[in-house]
Amino acid sequence: MKATIITIGDEILIGQIVDTNSVSIAKKLNAIGITISEKLSIGDTREAIVSTIDRALKATDVLVITGGLGPTKDDITKHTLAQIFNSELVYNEAEGEHVKSLLARRGIEFTDLNRGQAMLPKCCTVLHNAHGTAPGMWFERDGKVIVSLPGVPFEMEHLMDDEVIPRLKAHFELKAIVHRTLITRGIPESILAARIAEWEDALPSHLHLAYLPAPNVVRLRLSAYDVEGAATEEEITAQFDTLRSIIGDNIVGYEGSSVEQQIHEILTARGEKLAVAESCTGGTIAAKFTAMAGASAYFMAGVVSYSNEAKHDILGVSWDSLNAYGAVSEQVAREMAEGVRRVSKADYAIATTGIAGPGGGSKEKPVGTVWMAVATPTKTIAIMRNSGTDRSQIISRASAYTIEMLYNELKNL
């Protein structure tokens, strides 16, 4: 079963927003066995919408469309769909009342434009949008399904989960899609490919291997389409088990669990506590941990000690070290980690101090220089790395490296 995802909106074509709707829809469709043949973004023009839907309907069985359902003149998706399906717009009493009460709760007047949002093509099944003013629409033609959803991510998510996915499962007989991704570390892509060539060549034809390289990491994904789910999952697990005998030392584990998630699980299970002192990473590491539900069980405190005063006053870094070695130094990184561990009464602490740029670099300490430290109950270790010249990359790489340092220490204890 194949689908096309169409996102409508000039804001996508001019790069004003990042389209995450299609990512979410793709995952949800994959999870029930529907393969995405193509994702498209088009502008708010009648011609583009008509020709794209026409073409997509020839190639695939399911079309999921988002965007263009707002109350204003630039939103034309609904009118264009009514035209395509040759169906008049009629006022839907229930949806009208819903919009009215939703606006009343927010203290907003119900205008003609809002009334227009409850005008819906007669031929469609209305998908009730409990969280917004634009209902979704479900159309059928020759056994194929066309779904139109609002572009507001939160509303789209609910409509997919509550309305679209259950209806698709009822409408089609679906087989499974299985993806599983193994993370390897420390082997460059080309070397890895040579080392596992024999294993790769022996894969059965229904298992598709993909290489997904990133700095220091290559993810290997095996995918199978239109299969029996449970049996294929076992088969893929067995294939990856074979791979462990070839490159076992370089395998980190399956995707789905980031390094911070693994630390989250270890600390939660052990009842141990964590604290973070950040200079150049500026709160990014703390935000990664606290984004996970349940972090309060182990995350005691983070200190973004951006100024030297904060390093000294809050963390107890000595003025001697700051003056003798500078804020970006092994000594200060160590004292930051030890200091935040002490003031927050944590078992483990990590610290970063570096030059995120673009200013502040020197010949000895160029932009990108970052000292990272981990303090445990028995020792403190520190490492320096240079993470390039781009501020956001320096922050994200230094965060990732420091979290990995902590993980390596936790694993060995």
User: Least separation, in Å, of the C-beta of 86 and a copy of itself?
Assistant: 25
Q: Is 386 one of the binding residues for a copy of itself (CB under 8 A)?
A: no
First to last CA, the chain: 48
Q: Is 20 one of the binding residues for a copy of itself (CB under 8 A)?
A: yes
**What's the rounded Cα separation, in Å, for the pair 200 and 30?**
24
Q: Is 191 one of the binding residues for a copy of itself (CB under 8 A)?
A: yes
Q: Is 391 one of the binding residues for a copy of itself (CB under 8 A)?
A: yes
Q: Is 402 one of the binding residues for a copy of itself (CB under 8 A)?
A: no
Which residues, numbered 344-383, are part of the site for a copy of itself (CB under 8 A)?
344-345, 356-360
- Compare residues 123 and 343 and give the one whose CB is closer to a copy of itself: 343
SS3 for 212-277 is EEECCEEEEEEEEEEECHHHHHHHHHHHHHHHHHHHHHHEEEECCCCHHHHHHHHHHHHCCCEEEE
User: Least separation, in Å, of the C-beta of 217 and a copy of itself?
Assistant: 13
Identify which range of 85-93, 120-128, 231-239, 272-280 contacts a copy of itself by CB under 8 A: 272-280
Q: Is 200 one of the binding residues for a copy of itself (CB under 8 A)?
A: yes
Identify which range of 112-120, 137-145, 235-243, 373-381 contacts a copy of itself by CB under 8 A: 112-120
Which residues, numbered 289-318, are part of the site for a copy of itself (CB under 8 A)?
289-291, 293-296, 299-307, 309-310, 313-314
Cβ neighbour number for residue 134 with a 10 Å cutoff: 24
Which residues, numbered 204-263, are part of the site for a copy of itself (CB under 8 A)?
208-213, 221, 223
DSSP characters over 157-222? HHHIIIIIHHHHHHHS---EEEEEEEEEESS-HHHHHHHTHHHHHTS-TT-EEEEEEETTEEEEEE
Q: Is 80 helix (H, G, I), strand (E, B) or coil?
A: helix
Residues 6+ apart with CB under 8 A from 86: none
User: Least separation, in Å, of the C-beta of 123 and a copy of itself?
Assistant: 26
- Residue written as tokens 């990133």? 214
User: Least separation, in Å, of the C-beta of 110 and a copy of itself?
Assistant: 8
Identify which range of 83-91, 193-201, 228-236, 258-266 contacts a copy of itself by CB under 8 A: 193-201
Q: Is 43 one of the binding residues for a copy of itself (CB under 8 A)?
A: yes
Identify which range of 87-95, 104-112, 230-238, 405-413 contacts a copy of itself by CB under 8 A: 104-112
Identify which range of 20-28, 86-94, 230-238, 371-379 contacts a copy of itself by CB under 8 A: 20-28
Strand-by-strand arrangement of the 217-227 sheet? 208-214, 217-227, 176-185, 251-254
User: Least separation, in Å, of the C-beta of 116 and a copy of itself?
Assistant: 9
Q: Is 38 one of the binding residues for a copy of itself (CB under 8 A)?
A: yes
SS3 for 97-160 is HHHHHHHHHCCCCCCHHHHHHCEEECCCEEECCCCCCCCEEEEEECCEEEEEECCCHHHHHHHH
- Compare residues 23 and 230 and give the one whose CB is closer to a copy of itself: 23
- Compare residues 13 and 174 and give the one whose CB is closer to a copy of itself: 13
**What's the rounded Cα separation, in Å, for the pair 95 and 179?**
39
Q: Is 18 one of the binding residues for a copy of itself (CB under 8 A)?
A: yes
For 12, which DSSP code?
Answer: H
